[in-house]
Amino acid sequence: MLALLVAQNIAFYIIAVMMVFGAIRVVTTKNVMHAALWLVLVLSGAAAQFILLAAEFVAITQVLVYLGAIIVLFLFGIMLTRAKTGTDDDLDNKKSAKFIGAGIGLALFGLMSYSLIDGFKDTEFGDLTVQRTAEVSDSIFSTYLLPFEVLSVLLLAALIGAIVIARRD
């Protein structure tokens, strides 16, 4: 048990560091392509975290959807907007905006960490049991059926909308 936990913890921390680093690189890199790739890192890190949290289905879905579709979509977007390959200096706002952003981010982080630490310190998971896909699907198609249907309509709308917007005519 302890060994398992220790292993999970170590895995968690390694992946977490990777993710954070990757996230920082996403927002600071001067290369658009690199930003997309760092984003891949973050997303896959997220999938790994999901596995750690015994949420298999979400992990797989994350990989499929995010890494498979959304990143591709980003890459297409980069391509179609003729982003400059290599370093591009014109990717950030001016310094004051960056400072404001940093300030806000830090303030937000400070606040959130305070409330989290204050609220959830020493809250441990217990024995993480796997959340089976069957249960998830049961839940989707019974309790959360309506949001599911709405979501499908939303996706349809988004699809049609995207087509209409990006249509060349």
Subset of 70-109 contacting another protein (CB under 8 A):
70, 73-74, 76-78, 80-83, 88, 90-93, 97-98, 100-102, 104-109
> Is residue 128 a contact partner of residue 53, using CB atoms and an 8 Å limit?
yes
According to CB under 8 A, which one of 120, 146, 149, 169 is a site residue for another protein? Answer: 120
Q: How many residues bind another protein (CB under 8 A)?
A: 94
CA dihedral 94, 95, 97, 99 (to 10 degrees): 170
> What SS3 class is residue 168?
coil
Decide: is 169 part of the binding site for another protein (CB under 8 A).
Answer: no
φ/ψ of 124, rounded to 5, equals: -105, 150
Tokens of 49: 């975290």
**Can residue 161 be called a binding residue for another protein (CB under 8 A)?**
yes
Q: Min. distance of Cβ 86 from another protein in angstroms?
A: 14
Tokens of 72: 């591709």
**Residue 168 binds to another protein (criterion: CB under 8 A):** yes
From residue 30, alpha-carbon distances to 71, 91, 128, 164 in Å are: 18, 7, 41, 32
Instruction: Please pick, from the candidates 1, 2, 3, 121, the single residue that binds another protein as defined by CB under 8 A.
Output: 121
Considering the complex, what minimum distance in angstroms separates the CB of residue 5 from another protein? 7
Measured distance CA(139)–CA(11) in Å, rounded: 30
User: What character string, x for contact with another protein (CB under 8 A) and - otherwise, covers 5-24?
Assistant: x--xx--x---x--xx--xx
